[in-house]
Amino acid sequence: MLDIKFLRENPDIVKQNIKNKFQDDKLPLVDEVIELDLKKREAQGEADELRAKRNQISKQIGALMAQGKKEEAEETKKQVAAFASRLAELEVIEKELDEKLTKNMMVIPNIIDPSVPIGKDDSENVEVTKYGEPVVPDFEIPYHTEIMEKFDGIDIDAAGRVAGNGFYYLMGDIARLHSAVISYARDFMIDRGFTYCVPPFMIRSNVVTGVMSFAEMDAMMYKIEGEDLYLIGTSEHSMIGKFIDTIVPEEKLPQTLTSYSPCFRKEKGAHGIEERGVYRIHQFEKQEMIVVCKPEESPMWFDKLWQNTVDLFRSLDIPVRTLECCSGDLADLKVKSFDVEAWSPRQKKYFEVGSCSNLGDAQARRLKIRVKGENGEKYFAHTLNNTVVAPPRMLIAFLENNLRADGSVAIPEVLRPYMGGMSELTPKNK
């Protein structure tokens, strides 16, 4: 959410930003916000003036009563009563204006970084750098569920009977591989100085609306019926929420956390062959990282965060690339975002396995996450998040890139301690 003062003083910048995000339907909101803000400040000004007069006259009543001028005192009391009636009206007006103002401000997108490429959608995202040499082997790479089935490692049919579409059972060596990747990612991030955290897997509505846009909320979140609770779609929501309505001493920054959690998503509109199997599902597990820092440090942390994911995938012999999200592909709260994509030898292309985002002070402003500087001045923190690893998609990349012609799967050295020393997976079914 933008600073109302910034919008008030820079409406043209805000409108151009909306145009850059190809959301022209939101342009009228800027003028509406300015009008609502003016009316709210006028109401506040009138209310403040009435309170001052009421206080002044109340003192006069005491003086009149002390002088025995009861009739004059009673007349003056009527004035105070009239002030009270108008103040009550103004409080209702202020509340209504504030609610409308906040609702509109929550929809106006954050100001994107000047370096973000302008484009309508993800088809106009820009490749930044490739890491590792993409390889297409001289043997056919099966679809990832077929690879897993060779190891008796997945049962989608049973999951469908139990929970419906978008769920799976992972079994045996594949389930162990899944857990090994999560454990390795946890220790990888701890070794890079992040504090390990297992957060709540449900959050209240005020946290949900603090960390994401209404459109994202509707598309992603599952609500618990009869409760003010939502299942998390990613643990960054719960971890950023940890700092809600707090004032963090500047010397305690940055806060760098890495978390494990299950994640639950509606995943509306998932279609096509690449959506089958474990590519796009309603439940998965993930290792995440977040940073709460001083505003001037967020660009530096942004680069560190996506580099962590690149380094982790390269340590597992998986070629990756970074892709900068264009303006039209950025969620409304984001200032800048990189996707990390892994190479798929079967598809002969890259696919998304993680996303790194700098949200500026948008989440902090919504959640009231403030920093107290050395001089006592308070300001809003910047927040960032990035996927360390999400094993469903990670498993696809891992299995495809480490599959051998005989159907076995190589286990990179760094992962072997988490797999009981195993150097390869041997298929159970030919």
pLDDT in tens, the chain (430 residues): 899 999 999 999 999 999 999 999 999 999 999 999 999 999 999 888 888 877 777 666 666 666 666 667 666 667 777 777 888 889 899 999 999 999 999 999 999 999 999 999 999 999 999 999 999 999 999 999 999 999 999 999 999 999 998 899 999 999 999 999 999 999 999 999 999 999 999 999 999 999 988 778 878 899 999 999 999 999 899 999 999 999 999 999 999 999 999 999 987 654 444 456 787 889 999 999 999 999 999 999 999 999 999 999 999 999 999 999 999 999 999 999 999 999 999 999 999 999 999 999 999 999 999 999 989 999 999 999 999 999 889 999 999 999 999 999 999 999 999 999 999 999 987 6
Is 370 in contact with 248 (CB distance < 8 Å)?
A: yes
Residue with the two structure tokens 């690339």: 321
Residues 217 and 296 in one domain: yes
Backbone angles phi, psi at 166, to 5 degrees: 90, 15
Please indicate, yes or no, whether residues 365 and 407 belong to a single structural domain of this protein. Answer: yes
Residues 6+ apart with CB under 8 A from 210: 240, 241, 244, 363, 366, 367
- Indicate whether 51 and 190 sit together in one domain: no
CB atoms within 10 A of CB 249: 10
Of 126, 427, 124, 366, the C-alpha closest to 244 is 366
Structural contact between residues 320 and 353, judged by C-beta atoms closer than 8 angstroms: yes
Query: Is there a domain that residue 241 lies in?
Result: yes
Residues 94, 127, single domain; the answer is no
Report the distance separating Cα 384 and Cα 268, nearest Å: 25
- Provide CB contacts within 8 A for 256, sequence distance 6+: 193, 194, 195, 289, 290, 291
Domain around 152: 122-425
317 in the Ramachandran plot: left (φ > 0), alpha (ψ -120 to 50) or beta? left
315-326: burial string, b at 16+ Cβ within 10 Å, e else: ebbbbbbbbbbb
The distance from CA 197 to its chain's CA centroid, rounded to whole angstroms, is: 17
Last residue of a domain, one of 70, 105, 140: 105
Judgement on whether residues 382 and 298 belong to the same structural domain of the protein? yes
357-411 pLDDT, tens digit per residue, is 999 999 999 999 999 998 999 999 999 999 999 988 999 999 999 999 999 999 9
- The whole-number pLDDT of residue 273 equals 43
Q: Are residues 176 and 38 in the same domain?
A: no
60 is a domain residue: yes
Residue 115 in any domain: the answer is no
Q: Which amino acid is at 51?
A: R
* Backbone φ/ψ region at 263: left (φ over 0), alpha (ψ -120 to 50), beta: beta
- Residue 309: the pLDDT is 97
157 & 250 share domain: yes
Closest by alpha carbon to 382, among 296, 269, 311, 310?
296
Other C-beta atoms lying within 10 Å of the C-beta of residue 250: 15
CA distances from 136 to 140, 343, 346, 404, 405 (A): 9, 10, 8, 12, 12
What type of residue sits at position 304? Answer: K
Residues 94 and 130 in one domain: no
What secondary structure letter does DSSP report for 430? -
Count of residues making up the chain: 430
In a domain, 430, yes or no: no
The answer to whether residue 221 sits within a structural domain is yes
Residue 14 near residue 7, CB atoms below 8 Å:
yes
| Residue 126 shares a structural domain with residue 90 | no
Q: Is residue 256 part of a domain?
A: yes
Q: Does 110 map to a domain?
A: no
Q: Are residues 141 and 98 in the same domain?
A: no
Residue at a domain's end among 41, 71, 105:
105
Structure tokens at 162: 């139990």
Q: Which CATH number characterizes residue 158's domain?
A: 3.30.930.10
Shared domain for 182 and 294, answered yes or no, is yes
Exposed / middle / buried, residue 88 (Cβ in 10 Å: 0-12, 13-18, 19+): exposed
End position of a domain, from candidates 71, 105, 139: 105
CA–CA separation, 17 and 30 (whole Å): 11
- Do 52 and 178 reside in the same domain of the chain? no
Q: Considering the domain boundaries, does residue 117 fall inside one?
A: no
**How many structural domains comprise the chain?**
2
CA 80: distance to chain centroid? 49
pTM: 0.89
CATH number at residue 69: 1.10.287.40
